[in-house]
Amino acid sequence: MELNLSLCALLLCSLVCIIALSNGSRKSNLSHIPTVGGPSLPILSYYGTIRYIFRAQEIIKEGYTKHKGGIFKYAELGHWRVIVTGPKLIDDLRKAPENVLSNSEAIREIVGLDYTLGLDIIHDPYHIPIIRSRFKGDLGTSLQDVRDEIIAALNDEIPSCSNGAFDCFPEFCTVLYLQTMSQGNGLMFPW
């Protein structure tokens, strides 16, 4: 009885591996791109995903060092991220038409717009003409507003001692606040 249970478990695992390998080889047309951070086999690539979660900077630096001027890929959860280095390859990417490489689809995937803002904003992008119309005017005035907002936010958020030295402050929260205030007030709502 114990031997039958072990045999069934082994057969089930083998079947899952065969299905995963066959699906992975059919779906991926990235096999010619070098992989960094872990193996590129379908199930084993999750090792690279876990490694990327904890050592992202190290993996990207390794890929850039090994493949400078070329391309490489690393595993993220559920997909591969391809990095292009070198001026010629970057220029080729820049010249690609929208039906080949879609900037809006890339942003949709990276930001997770389906889950964060919903499908309505994707199918009716009413905000894009509003933002574009704001930038058609005098950018010098807008940039001056952004500069003024950054200076005011810095004075409000970063405390200084009487001798001019900075005290400790929560960097991440402060930078996030400064970025939000400068972009929101300076660029979008200068009134």
Q: 82-139, pLDDT tens digit by residue? A: 999 988 998 888 888 888 888 778 878 877 888 877 778 778 878 778 777 766 666 6
Which residues have a Cβ under 8 Å from the Cβ of 98 and sit 6 or more positions away? Answer: none
Residues 68 and 77: their CA atoms lie apart, in Å, by 25
Residue tagged 């292009």 (tokens): 84
pLDDT digit string, tens, across residues 77-86: 888 899 999 8
Q: Would you tell me how many other CB atoms lie within 10 Å of the CB of residue 83?
A: 15
pTM above 0.75, yes or no: no
Residues 11 and 13: their CA atoms lie apart, in Å, by 5
Which residues have a Cβ under 8 Å from the Cβ of 62 and sit 6 or more positions away? Answer: 36, 37
Residues 6 and 102: their CA atoms lie apart, in Å, by 49
- State yes or no: pLDDT of 76 exceeds 80: yes
Q: What is the DSSP letter of 167?
A: P
Residues 119 and 164: their CA atoms lie apart, in Å, by 50
Q: What is the DSSP string of 173-191?
A: HHHHHHHHHIIIIIII---
3-state class (DSSP) for residue 75: strand
Mean pLDDT of the chain: 75
Q: How distant, in Å, are the alpha carbons of 176, 185, 187 from that of 173?
A: 5, 18, 21
Burial of 11 (0-12, 13-18, 19+ CB in 10 A): exposed
pLDDT at residue number 63: 92
Sign of the alpha-carbon torsion through 64, 65, 70, 74: negative
Domain chopping of the chain, boundaries: 2-123, 136-188
